Amino acid sequence: ELKVEQNPLFLSMQEGKNYTIYCNYSTTSDRLYWYRQDPGKSLESLFVLLSNGAVKQEGRLMASLDTKARLSTLHITAAVHDLSATYFCAVRGSNYKLTFGKGTLLTVNP
Amino acid sequence: DGGITQSPKYLFRKEGQNVTLSCEQNLNHDAMYWYRQDPGQGLRLIYYSQIVNDFQKGDIAEGYSVSREKKESFPLTVTSAQKNPTAFYLCASSIDRGHYGYTFGSGTRLTVV
């Protein structure tokens, strides 16, 4: 059974600081996805990582994938308040279903 | 505009009542999914369907039922057998076996009164 673990689950940051969210998964997969969710809203796709060593960047967010270590990271650079949200990683299993982590609630404080 | 439409946005259910949540997509996606979200639990898969007239149980299917009579539609019924139905329900769809991930609807918040 595929398990996906994110840490930390809660992250409180100051504006301007850098931090990394980690996503570990238990079985082989070469497809990993990052989503953002604002309170009471749906999930918005951020990044699709399709191969080992893939790195994607959008604004202050950068995601990477190491399939050998079964690890993805979401790095936040110089955080701003607008980045406050819950971030989910998801992994596609052998049956093509996505399994989600529990999410990381990010709060960026002035 | 292509997308997934969930309705209603808010739904209230009395004890012992069945309720149906609607999910319609015009993306021409083959696969559709229903997830339940509870605080601190992430997303848990209820049912999924990869083609019309076929669907599979997910991790928490007990107390729920679905149908997939049309490619565009995947309604979810929350039956009276579901003892704790209060949650946020998200419908999603995908193309090419989820290669590019899922597209999500805006969600339905169900509350038992």
For the stretch A67-110, pLDDT in tens is 999 999 999 999 999 999 999 999 998 778 899 999 999 999 98
Spatial neighbors of A59 by CB under 8 A, at least 6 apart, are: none
Would you call A41 and B105 a contact, using CB atoms and an 8 Å cutoff?
A: no
Q: State both tokens at B112.
A: 């038992």
Spatial neighbors of B1 by CB under 8 A, at least 6 apart, are: none
| B97 φ/ψ angles, rounded to the nearest 5 degrees | 55, 35
For the stretch B50-103, pLDDT in tens is 999 999 999 999 999 999 999 999 999 999 988 899 999 999 999 877 788 899
Is residue B1 pLDDT above 70, yes or no? no
* Chain B residues within 8 A of A48 when measuring between CB atoms: 100-101
CA dihedral B28, A63, B36, A10 (to 10 degrees): -160
For the stretch A21-48, pLDDT in tens is 999 999 888 789 999 999 989 999 999 9
Task: Please indicate if any CB of chain B lies within 8 Å of the CB of A103.
Answer: yes
Distance CA A2, CA B45 (A): 13
